[in-house]
Amino acid sequence: MTATEDNALKLDPEEARRVRQERLEHIGKWVLPMAIMVLAIWFWDRICVWNGIPQYILPRPGVVLQTLHDDAGLLFSSLLVTLKITFLSLLLAVIGGVGLAVLFAQSKWVEMSFFPFAIVLQVTPIVAIFPLINIYINNQTTKLLLCAWIVAFFPILSNTTLGLNSVDRNLRDLFKLNGATRWQQLRYLRLPAAMPYFLGGLKIAGGLSLIGAVVAEFVAGAQGQSSGLASRIIEAGYRLNAPRLFAALILISLAGILIFLVLSLVSHLILRRWHESALKQER
Amino acid sequence: MIQEKVAQSTASGEGPMLLSLRNVGKAFSNGVTALSKVDLAIREGDFLSLLGPSGCGKSTALRLIAGLSTPTSGQLDWRGSIDRSKIGFVFQEPTLLPWASVFDNVWLPLRLKGVSRARAEPAVMEMLSRVHLNGFENAVPRELSGGMKMRVSIARAMVTKPRILLMDEPFAALDEITRFKLNNDLLELWQDERFTVVFVTHSVFESVFLSSRVVVMAARPGRVHGELAIEAPYPRDEAFRTSPDYAALCRQASDVLVNAINSTAGPHHDGH
């Protein structure tokens, strides 16, 4: 009838308001943080000018940007060193975390026996462990890797373990009914079921492995043994080279954001077809 | 124990004996006696419903038959030795792999037996067309409606050509229109293939419409209370659903069920 046709064409005020609100929120989500950012940088610049703050205490944003450009060679090669440690340790964390989780999933007894030690490793601050590592391991890269790995592997281990254990009971019965072997159950049921949990852990571990790498470099860098971004920061601090310090800081921060975005994208691509977390809310 | 024989069980069963449960009991460590002294004879080609209130052990009986659980007392005798793969099971929920396509879900039982995708394809595609899901083989479960998910679940249980299909309240969560449709399609499938079905339900109407035999169970402890042969001829269709015969049979079954519920000792009879 005409009534239904009208409904299809013209939205009532409430629905129209909702649509408008949604559109505004969508734009605001991007525009507002950008605006705040620009405003804050402008304010930072103004503070420097108004108070006549010297460059070695607080450089103006323009100067930081200039340093980023002038010292690009030095800073980016350092960034590369830090990223190498970050990715290697993330890779090892994935292998170690998933490997241990699969081992734990094979038997409750194994899990009961070893899980507490994983927690001990996790809750002991890495800065406190580092001097020990420093004594026992000579190779610089191995040292840093071990540190970053200890920090990053736990969220992957604990999330994957949780995922492997939260398989639907009926699905487990189905596999049993069809005479599935332990390996088949792992491959076709438990590993795919654990995927969303694993990816959640991976996102946390990505950030943590960068933190682990930077912290390890800090401790190592204090002894003048590292060439990563953290040691650039310490060096710049000693020399009162504040612009370079800021530039290095910005690079680390950007690397962290990039790692998070890439891992979020990977997670979305893998889960988008079936998992609730990757679906748009339906009305 | 009151054993109410409404009709002789032998009258309805034509085929040879497939499975008999003799004096079967199941007790759990928390003190619940889920089943006590259950005797049940399942003949080949039967469409047998287990009808009863919640807590009467019908799902427990099904799990015992499936071999997912072992009886505390008594025994299950299969005619000949039955291979586990000759049992199909349909759960209350569709219980599909959410990450796998419809095709992969139906392929699963064959895949677990080492059948490659290419070799499984004819059987899988045929089964999908039998449950009227042609063209949906690449969809994932979340893109399907509740009824379609249940169809996938049935196709998966049937793809191995089981001799006996065990169904645990498979349509309880569906709306009535979808349930009727699936009832009809299930009967069609059963008439074509003549496998044996054990169907757990708490719906009098569903059990009478589908079954050749209705076994009524009582609770606390779970036991067989009585049996009813549904001698209406197949094929049964929508006309049967509204016929006086059907109404009379439903009334009969309902009377036995009420009897079973009243026979349960205890202060309340409303399940929990």
Whole-angstrom distance, CA of residue A171 vs CA of residue A189: 8
The H or E element containing residue B105 is: helix B102-112
Cβ distance B68 to A173 less than 8 Å, yes or no, reads: yes
Residue among A104, A73, A4, A79 at smallest CA distance from A231: A79
Whole-angstrom distance, CA of residue A264 vs CA of residue A63: 33
Q: Does A230 touch chain B (CB under 8 A)?
A: no
Cβ distance A178 to B67 less than 8 Å, yes or no, reads: no
The pLDDT value given to residue A283: 39
Whole-angstrom distance, CA of residue B127 vs CA of residue B105: 12
pLDDT in tens, A193-221: 999 999 999 999 999 999 999 988 888 76
- CATH fold for domain A61-278: MetI-like fold (1.10.3720)
Q: What angle do CA B22, B24, B30 make, to 5 degrees?
A: 175
* Closest residue in B to A182 (Cα–Cα): B112
Average pLDDT of A219-229?
71
Q: Which long-range contacts (CB under 8 A, 24 or more apart) does A129-133 make?
A: A130/A216, A130/A219, A130/A220, A131/A219
Cβ distance A274 to B111 less than 8 Å, yes or no, reads: no
The pLDDT value given to residue B13: 47
Whole-angstrom distance, CA of residue B249 vs CA of residue B208: 7
Q: Does A168 touch chain B (CB under 8 A)?
A: yes
Whole-angstrom distance, CA of residue B134 vs CA of residue A53: 74
The H or E element containing residue A34 is: helix A13-51
Q: Does B111 touch chain A (CB under 8 A)?
A: yes
Q: Does B142 touch chain A (CB under 8 A)?
A: yes
Residue-by-residue DSSP string for A122-171: HHS-HHHHHHHHHHH---HHHHHHHHHHHHHHHHHHHHHHHHHH---HHH
Q: Does B89 touch chain A (CB under 8 A)?
A: yes
Q: Does A173 touch chain B (CB under 8 A)?
A: yes
| pLDDT confidence band for B10 (50 / 70 / 90) | very low
Structure tokens at B241: 């659903």
Average pLDDT of B126-131?
94
Residue B181 to chain A, least CA–CA distance (Å): 25
Residue among B222, B218, B217, B216 at smallest CA distance from B33: B222
The pLDDT value given to residue A1: 43
- Give the best residue of B62, B92, B99, B143 to mutate against chain A (max A CB count within 10 A): B99
Average pLDDT of B246-253?
92
- Give the best residue of A168, A170, A172, A174 to mutate against chain B (max B CB count within 10 A): A174
B135: left (phi over 0), alpha (psi -120 to 50) or beta: left
Residues of B in contact with A270 (CB under 8 A): none
Whole-angstrom distance, CA of residue B83 vs CA of residue A11: 61
pLDDT value at B1 more than 50: no
Whole-angstrom distance, CA of residue B180 vs CA of residue B176: 6
Higher pLDDT, B6 or B210: B210
Cβ distance A177 to B140 less than 8 Å, yes or no, reads: no
Q: Does B33 touch chain A (CB under 8 A)?
A: no
The pLDDT value given to residue A59: 93
Nearest to A180 among B87, B112, B160 (CB): B112
Share of chain A above pLDDT 90, in %: 57
Average pLDDT of A45-61?
92
- Give the best residue of A178, A267, A271 to mutate against chain B (max B CB count within 10 A): A178
Task: Decide which of 3.30.1490, 1.25.40, 3.40.50, 2.40.30 is the CATH code for B1-82+166-173+203-272.
Answer: 3.40.50
The H or E element containing residue A21 is: helix A13-51
Cβ distance B91 to A170 less than 8 Å, yes or no, reads: yes
Average pLDDT of A66-73?
92
Residue B164's DSSP bridge partners are B87, B196
Q: Which residues contact A164 (CB under 8 A, 6 or more apart)?
A: A101, A102, A104, A105, A190, A191, A193, A194
Average pLDDT of A245-274?
92
Angle between helices A140-165 and A126-136 (to 10 degrees): 130
The residue extents of the domains of chain A are 2-51, 61-278
Residue A181 to chain B, least CA–CA distance (Å): 8
Rg (CA), chain A: 25
Cβ distance B95 to A184 less than 8 Å, yes or no, reads: no
The pLDDT value given to residue A9: 64
- Give the best residue of A171, A177, A185, A275 to mutate against chain B (max B CB count within 10 A): A177
The pLDDT value given to residue B4: 43
pLDDT value at A56 more than 80: yes
pLDDT value at B110 more than 90: yes
The H or E element containing residue A245 is: helix A242-271
Whole-angstrom distance, CA of residue B169 vs CA of residue B199: 7
Q: Which residues of A224-251 are buried (b: 16+ CB within 10 A; e: fewer)?
A: eebbbbbbbbbbbeeeebbbbbbbbebb
* Closest residue in A to B87 (Cα–Cα): A177
Residues of B in contact with A174 (CB under 8 A): 89, 91, 95, 108
CA distances from A5 to A1, A12, A19, A192, A245 (A): 7, 13, 19, 46, 64
The pLDDT value given to residue A219: 80
Q: Is-contact A192 A275, C-beta < 8 A?
A: no
Complex-level ipTM beyond the 0.90 threshold: no
Residue A203 to chain B, least CA–CA distance (Å): 20
Residues of B in contact with A178 (CB under 8 A): 84-85, 108-109, 112-113, 160
B159 half-sphere exposure, CB direction, 13 A CA radius: 31
Residue among B157, B159, B163 at smallest CA distance from B45: B163
pLDDT in tens, A127-177: 888 888 888 988 888 888 998 888 899 999 999 999 999 899 999 999 999
Helix (H, G, I), strand (E, B) or coil at A55: coil
Q: Does A274 touch chain B (CB under 8 A)?
A: yes
Q: Does A272 touch chain B (CB under 8 A)?
A: no
* Closest residue in A to B156 (Cα–Cα): A174
The pLDDT value given to residue B151: 95
E-strand spans in chain B? 4-5, 17-27, 33-43, 47-51, 73-78, 87-90, 164-168, 196-201, 213-218, 223-229
Share of chain B above pLDDT 90, in %: 62
Tell me the average pLDDT of chain B. Answer: 87
B22 half-sphere exposure, CB direction, 13 A CA radius: 6
pLDDT in tens, B40-94: 999 999 999 999 988 888 999 999 999 899 999 998 888 876 666 689 999 999 9
pLDDT in tens, B206-246: 999 999 999 999 888 888 998 999 988 888 988 899 999 99
Whole-angstrom distance, CA of residue B73 vs CA of residue B70: 9
Q: Does B246 touch chain A (CB under 8 A)?
A: no
| pLDDT confidence band for A226 (50 / 70 / 90) | low
